[in-house]
Structure 1
Amino acid sequence: MDVAPFELERWFAEYEHDADVMLAESGVRSLPASDFDTDPGELGYVIPTKGAPDVRAAIADEHDRTADEVVCTVGTQEANFLVFQSLLSPGDHAVVVTPTYQSLHAIPESICDVTRVPLDPPEWTLDVDAVAEAIRPETELVVLNNPNNPTGRQHDEETVRAVYDLAVDADAYLLGDEVYRLLAEDPLPPVTSLGDRAISTSGLSKTYGLAGLRFGWLAGPSEVVEATERWKDYTTISPTKFGQHVARQVLTGREAELREDALAHVRANHEITAEWAREHGIDWPDPVGCNAFLEVPASFENSATFCRTVVEESSVVLAPGRCFGDAYDDYFRIGFGLPTAELREGLDRVSTVL
């Protein structure tokens, strides 16, 4: 398995540890561990290894599935990895809507042939006909991240249903990476509720500010779940005991409260960031979630030049668009989910550079 370097993570590795402000963070501000009961008891494996039945049942209720059709994972990253390894083989083909989080196309590309279908700027709309044209007889999987990272575009229910129907017609599956779904004021139904060829992956990192838990899941048809379980025996075996312990508290009692707090926080920061962008003549795409994909100011050659200048002169990390593909070198990703005081500080520092 020969996989491409993860450009965004390599960029973070170079700069994030020494910078003062992380304006490239892609989730909502982190919650303190003191907000939760942090004693999970004995630190053995989670049994059964695909997650405790009550936790899986809570996830299943949200995804129109049964508890047996859910696998709990170490973050959404593992959930996606398990799906790719379980469904794709050399000689297969996958269709991936881009720009998106690199692993959603890089892992499939390490296994089989992949066709990337680009969103149309500046609104980052999805041309369903382009997805149809990309599908081949050997297509096994279509991948859609919704709401989209990095653009913040939320494709509507009609569009998602149309893409699902294309997958069904091709006897393929639709994988919906939905880590930002609940950061929409009016979230769409999860992809997996569409039918027996649909899979949803998600987790607690983005909406709830619990990235350090490394707790995610996949929900889908039984044959997919069984295949991913076989692969999971070779990856992490079970979700983390601590992660599941806190996840249970979120999913079976505090989900509504924590989500509303996160939405209120993002609403306020959204307006602050939008005002900052407009002050600098930068078009604001009004994203869903806590990321925006903005055009690099004209005085800078490309995204890497701009973001490197910002971090070296102001100690603020932004994400170059090129980390999401060479076609996006005129853009940068900014995250506005961090604590509001840090957001204001970071924006002021970038303003000084501009």
Structure 2
Amino acid sequence: MHIEPFELERFFDRYEHGADLMLAESGIQSRDTSEFDTDPGELGYVIPTGGDPAFRETIADRYGRGPDEVLFACGAQEANFVTFAALMGEHAVTVTPTYQSLHAVPDAFGEVTTVPLDPPAWDLDLDAVRDAMRPDTEVLVVNNPNNPTGRYLPEETVRALYDIAADNDTYLLCDEVYRLLAEDPLPPVASLGEYGISTSSVTKSHGLAGCRFGWVAANEDVVEAAASWKDYTTISPSTFGQHVAKQAIEREAELLAEHRAQAADHRARVGDFLAEHGLSWREPTGVNGFPTVPDGFDSARDFCVTLVEEESVLLAPGDAFGVPDRFRIGFGLATAELEEGLARVGDFLDRRETQAGV
């Protein structure tokens, strides 16, 4: 078994610690611990290790499923990992660009065929998905809303993906960590039928990355198989994370209203900034966008490295997602930090234009 280095995390590991401003974060601004009761009592394992049954029932309700069809995990990253480990046989199909683990992990277990979204609108060719499917395809993978592009595939496309998968006796796994940041979220994939699998967490939409709390919702056979793998990873979800996540879900309407408003305001600010500097993107859902690289740079990595070295502002190079002529910008951070970050990027671009004699 071999897995490729996680390009985005390696890039962040090199530059994030020393950067003044992180303008590539992929979630909404983190909430403060002062908002929550942070005393879960004894810090033992969560028992049962799949998660608190009553809380699993609460989460399961949003998928039209029972509590035994939900498994709690340490973030969506673990939820995805143990689900892939449980499902993978010979082949998977993944829609790209996407978060690297959604193709690298299944590729470590078998073979992955990727189907690209088509820029600049980042549309999906359903015929290309059909052509990529094989009789031994175990799982079709999509991230909706998409990271890094922010593209939110419409309901008719998602239902068509489900039908393509189900007709092939294949599961459709949708990483839905940004779904609740949409003003009008689509029905989750796990609610579409027995072949639907949803993974999510309280990281991106609820502002609780440090809780490391997520879940997979699927039919009971998939959940049991994923739980068997989880016995070899973290065993149980975080006691602290589950304790705080319960409170966040109880306050979900309030938190999401604040976060959606912040995302909308910041999205407009970034859109104006990009237009001012001759850059373009497809306006995203969520808090990530995937703009074009400014003129004068060999690639997005060249742009991002030069920017962080000169202005101490970190953006994410698109080659970490297989697209070297784009970069990811995250705009879910605090407003003052976003304003400062955009000001520094603007100064950097203006200086480059002056140096080039434009």
TM-score (norm 2): 0.97
Aligned to 1:69: 69
Q: Aligned with 2:290: secondary structure?
A: strand
How far, CA to CA, are the matches of 1:143 and 1:289 in structure 2? 19
Aligned to 2:317: 320
Alpha-carbon deviations, 1:178-217, whole Å to 9, x = none?
Answer: 0000010000000000000110000000011100000000
Does the CA contact (< 8 Å) of 1:278 and 1:284 recur in 2? Answer: no
Shift of residue 53, structure 1, vs aligned partner: 1.0
Match of 1:331 among 326, 331, 343: 326
Shift of residue 346, structure 1, vs aligned partner: 0.3
Runs of 4+ in 1 over 3 A off after TM superposition: none
Are 1:308 and 2:269 matched, yes or no? no
Unaligned 5+ residue runs, structure 2?
350-358
How far, CA to CA, are the matches of 1:298 and 1:194 in structure 2? 44
Aligned to 1:343: 338
Match of 1:140 among 132, 138, 141: 138
Are 1:170 and 2:161 matched, yes or no? no
Aligned to 2:252: 255
Alpha-carbon deviations, 1:271-304, whole Å to 9, x = none?
Answer: 1111101100111311000000011012111011
After superposition, where does 1:81-96 map in structure 2 within 5 Å?
81-89=81-89, 92-96=90-94
How far, CA to CA, are the matches of 1:278 and 1:65 in structure 2? 44
After superposition, where does 1:1-354 map in structure 2 within 5 Å?
1-89=1-89, 92-251=90-249, 253-325=250-322, 328-354=323-349
Q: Aligned with 2:3: secondary structure?
A: coil
Shift of residue 76, structure 1, vs aligned partner: 0.1
How far, CA to CA, are the matches of 1:171 and 1:63 in structure 2? 21
Q: Aligned with 1:110: secondary structure?
A: helix
Does the CA contact (< 8 Å) of 1:51 and 1:72 recur in 2? Answer: yes
Does the CA contact (< 8 Å) of 1:55 and 1:247 recur in 2? Answer: no
Alpha-carbon deviations, 1:123-160, whole Å to 9, x = none?
Answer: 00111111000001111100010000000000001000
Segment of structure 1 superposing worse, 147-156 or 276-285: 276-285
How far, CA to CA, are the matches of 1:121 and 1:50 in structure 2? 40
Q: Aligned with 1:236: secondary structure?
A: coil
Aligned to 2:355: none
Alpha-carbon deviations, 1:316-341, whole Å to 9, x = none?
Answer: 0000000001xx10000000000000
Amino acid aligned to 2:105? I
TM-score (norm 1): 0.98
Segment of structure 1 superposing worse, 308-317 or 61-70: 61-70
Shift of residue 63, structure 1, vs aligned partner: 1.3
Q: Aligned with 1:329: secondary structure?
A: coil
Amino acid aligned to 2:291? L
How far, CA to CA, are the matches of 2:212 and 2:346 in structure 1? 34
Does the CA contact (< 8 Å) of 1:60 and 1:219 recur in 2? Answer: yes
Aligned to 2:353: none
Does the CA contact (< 8 Å) of 2:82 and 2:229 recur in 1? Answer: yes
Amino acid aligned to 1:187? P
Alpha-carbon deviations, 1:15-72, whole Å to 9, x = none?
Answer: 0011000000000001111110000000110011000012111111111111110000
Shift of residue 352, structure 1, vs aligned partner: 1.1
Q: Aligned with 1:176: secondary structure?
A: strand
Does the CA contact (< 8 Å) of 2:313 and 2:345 recur in 1? Answer: yes
How far, CA to CA, are the matches of 2:252 and 2:57 in structure 1? 14
Q: Percent same amino acid at aligned positions? A: 60
How far, CA to CA, are the matches of 2:289 and 2:58 in structure 1? 31
Q: Aligned with 2:236: secondary structure?
A: coil
Aligned length: 349
Q: Aligned with 1:63: secondary structure?
A: coil
Does the CA contact (< 8 Å) of 2:57 and 2:67 recur in 1? Answer: yes
Shift of residue 267, structure 1, vs aligned partner: 1.1
How far, CA to CA, are the matches of 1:43 and 1:290 in structure 2? 33
How far, CA to CA, are the matches of 2:283 and 2:319 in structure 1? 21
- Kindly report the root-mean-square deviation, in angstroms, between the aligned alpha carbons of the 2 structures: 0.6
Amino acid aligned to 2:135? P
Q: Aligned with 2:200: secondary structure?
A: strand
Alpha-carbon deviations, 1:159-187, whole Å to 9, x = none?
Answer: 00001101111111000000000010000
How far, CA to CA, are the matches of 2:153 and 2:18 in structure 1? 36
How far, CA to CA, are the matches of 1:219 and 1:86 in structure 2? 14
How far, CA to CA, are the matches of 2:144 and 2:11 in structure 1? 24
